[in-house]
């Protein structure tokens, strides 16, 4: 058995298979899952309702997966950014965002990203590693505020649907009754539009979906988001029309507003045409400047005008507040490129 395998991050079926291989009773799989995900005990030697010989065998074969963040940065607005080292030695960042009675963790799914979006600091560093389920879940359980979390957003480093197996496994563990038992309505996954993995996500999970749109015109979107050349946003929207978003599950579209680039009246008209008939929300995000970027942030008045124009066309539109910009934790700013190059 590979030394890099860990108990933490395995789903119930994998634990059952493991118990069978180790000649343990099948019901031990649920016992292990309860220790790992309900009691949050990773050390097999502390799993007291499992036979002593089995505990010893598990402890010998499976090293710990969970580790505390290596660094914490605190914003003036209460946001915190945590730096984690992966099992392969790369770095990722997560952002903890308190807001009244809500506490959201922005989770990373990869170290770096290969989508290459021109406005994103993570995209500039390229892809170092796709995270395992254990490395994804470690971000949730290993921050000091873990017990306060009310919401998770897969909007950190990486494209979640470029790592579908491990992300879906993490979502299963998060939402299963034998796992963390989170409601899927408390989790949102963001994607740049990776087909056919969007369909798989919608079939295999019940979490909310957020699509990074940023420009409704094919040629213009392709200039800032290379993914458009492979999976055009028009095809993504066509797929979404097949699903019902009128009940508990929501779909939203993220739209980073760049002054003079994607905020004109013709963009408003095309957005209205593209999304016509889909029950959705557009979240407007002010562009956050990254070094050597040719793009510019709009002022508050321009953001309000853009929002009001979309609202007038019947699209529910909100302006997302920027959080953690002073510690490089806001949308598009997460990057560990310098640390990964050490």
CA 260 to the chain's CA centroid = 29
DSSP 179-237: TT---GGGEEEEES--TTHHHHHHHH---EEEEE-S-SSHHHHHHH-THHHHS-HHHHH
Show the CA angle centred on residue 341, arms to residues 324 and 191, nearest 5°.
50
**Which residue among the candidates 19, 66, 120, 331 is catalytic per the annotation?**
331
Phi, psi (rounded to 5 degrees) for 41 = -110, 120
- Identify whether 93 is a catalytic site residue: yes
- Give kind and range of the element (H or E) at residue 55: helix 52-61
Nearest-10 Cα torsion for 227, 299, 331, 193:
-20
Contacts of 19 (CB under 8 A, 6+ apart): 25, 26, 28, 29, 32
Structure token pair of residue 23: 């000649």
Please state whether the peptide bond connecting residue 196 to the residue before it is cis, i.e. omega within 30 degrees of 0. yes
**Which residue among the candidates 19, 42, 66, 93 is catalytic per the annotation?**
93
- Identify whether 331 is a catalytic site residue: yes
Give SS3 for 290. coil
Contacts of 147 (CB under 8 A, 6+ apart): none
DSSP 336: -
Whole-Å CA distances, 204 to 172, 184, 192, 200, 279: 9, 12, 19, 6, 21
Closest CA to 209 of 274, 176, 253: 253
Task: Please state, in angstroms and rounded to a whole number, the distance separating the CA atoms of residues 211 and 79.
Answer: 24
Name the packing angle between helices 197-204 and 164-175 (round to 10°): 20
- Active-site residue numbers? 93, 331
């Amino acid at each position: 058995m590979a030394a890099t395998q860990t108990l933490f991050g395995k789903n119930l079926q994998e634990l059952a298979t493991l118990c069978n291989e180790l000649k343990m009773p099948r019901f031990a799989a649920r016992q292990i899952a309860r220790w790992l995900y309900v009691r949050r005990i990773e050390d097999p030697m502390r799993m007291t309702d499992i036979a002593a010989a089995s505990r010893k065998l598990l402890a010998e074969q499976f090293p710990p997966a969970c580790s505390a963040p290596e660094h914490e940065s605190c914003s003036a607005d209460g946001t915190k950014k945590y730096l984690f080292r992966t099992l392969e030695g790369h770095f990722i960042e997560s952002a903890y965002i308190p807001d009244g009675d809500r506490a959201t963790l922005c989770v990373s799914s990869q170290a770096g990203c290969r989508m290459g979006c021109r406005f994103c600091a993570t995209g500039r560093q390229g892809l170092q590693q796709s995270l395992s389920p254990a490395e994804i879940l470690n971000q949730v359980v290993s921050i000091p505020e873990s017990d306060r979390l009310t919401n998770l957003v897969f909007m950190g480093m990486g494209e979640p649907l470029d790592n579908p197996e491990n992300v879906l496994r993490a979502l299963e563990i998060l939402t299963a009754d034998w796992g963390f038992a989170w409601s899927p309505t408390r989790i949102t996954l963001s994607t740049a539009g990776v087909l056919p993995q969007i369909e798989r996500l919608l079939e295999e999970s019940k979490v909310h979906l957020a699509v990074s749109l940023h420009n409704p015109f094919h040629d213009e979107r392709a200039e800032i988001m290379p993914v458009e050349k492979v999976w055009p946003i028009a095809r993504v929207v066509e797929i979404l029309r097949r699903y019902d978003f009128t009940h508990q599950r929501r779909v939203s579209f993220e739209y980073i507003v760049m002054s003079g680039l994607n905020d004109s009246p013709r963009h408003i008209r095309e957005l209205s045409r593209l999304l016509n008939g889909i029950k959705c929300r557009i979240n407007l995000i002010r562009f956050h400047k990254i070094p050597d970027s040719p793009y510019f942030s709009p002022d508050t008045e321009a953001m309000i005008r853009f929002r009001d124009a979309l609202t007038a066309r019947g699209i529910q539109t909100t302006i997302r507040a920027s959080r953690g910009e002073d510690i490089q934790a806001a949308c598009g700013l997460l990057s560990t490129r310098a640390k990964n190059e050490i």
